[in-house]
Structure 1
Amino acid sequence: DLIYVTIASQGSATYSNAIMARDAFYAQVPDAEKLQIHVVDSKNYTGVYGYPVMQAAAKIKKGASVEEVLNYLTEWFQSAEVLFVPLTLKYAKRSGRISAAAAFAGELLGLKPLIRITDGVSKVETKIRGDKNIIPTMSKYIQQRMIPRTPYSLVAGCDDTFANELKKELVKKLGYQPEHLFHIGATVSCNAGPDVVGIIIRSEPRIDAE
């Protein structure tokens, strides 16, 4: 068995290309179906699928069945989401994620968007006024949306300062440590900027998730 987890199908053709490649392989190679290829849409980006893939690999090493691993991945991707705040709006404006007018107004008023990504779709949850309110606002939203006692991971850019502050706040509020700290890569940086603070959590499973 081969389990291949792709980046969100909403933002990339990787998933559909993998399905086509698998089907072409089965059609062209005799006895190809002896190799079971499972293509899984992560529905998200970066550590949102990186963390469960690492956990899935650990489960396989411990003897978990393919069915158990696929069920784990499916359940994770149906409930995983990321909440993050870009600390500058310059890059979101350049990428077209927000309009130049909205970016200008945000910078003028000192507003930062709290963005949630689920199933590859981003949504601005609220706008935070002033850097000192970023961590308290994120903490409030996290506690509202997160399934209690589930693992969580932090996300940061070039600077871990805000991520470390969020960690301290959440350990105090939740009573346990994050699993991991993920640093964003070039693609996310192009859209959100090199300085962000975020968190990967599990919320209630989406009813319309496949």
Structure 2
Amino acid sequence: ARKTLRTGLVLAAVLAPLQILAGDLHGLNTLAHQPAKIAAIEAIWKTGKGVPLVLFAVPDDERRRNDFAVEIPKGASLILRHDGEAEVQGIDAFVPDAAPVAPVFFAFRVMVGMGVLMLVAAWSGVWATRRGALPQRWMLWTFSGFTFAGWIATLAGWLVTEIGRQPWLVTGILRTREAVGGASGAQLGASLTGYIITYTVMLIAYLVVLTHLAGKGANA
């Protein structure tokens, strides 16, 4: 059990930063090809220079502003353009072809937040097990709480991808409404219901097996 835990923590401690790096590179690629999505992710309403990085806010799509914003001055320009004085396009540059900001903004922060928490947990775990001992009980429970962290981060990232590109299916080429097929609402509902049932059964099976193995302890 100690070796298994240690191996998992070391892998997570190494791979999590690489995932964050890959995400940053993907963000720069998105800026080049889907700048409207980046504007929604960062809740940048107006095109300008020296744009701040919004850590948290309550985006108001109707009034096109951020309420209760916590910002780092020039942070968005620095991260996105590697120049604190660089210009970054805002939502105003893409209206009316711009996605709703609030869901994209929050989903992105859920994704990033989960990634940071997993990184902190992995590094803390590596430090706690550096001499081959199991970490304290509260830390083990914390690790258990991260069972679905990857799934939550993936789902949040999917929401960023799909909502953030609206109203386009293929940016600048094909709109979502232009790709609507001939399937009826009943057919789509049946398909979606099938997916929900299938994945619910898989989730239950996973939890049953996981609980069973956890109950057997080190002999599993």
TM-score (norm 2): 0.23
Q: Which has the higher contact order (CA 8 A, sep 6+)?
A: 1
Q: Which has the larger radius of gyration?
A: 2
Which is helix-richer, 1 or 2?
2
TM-score (norm 1): 0.24
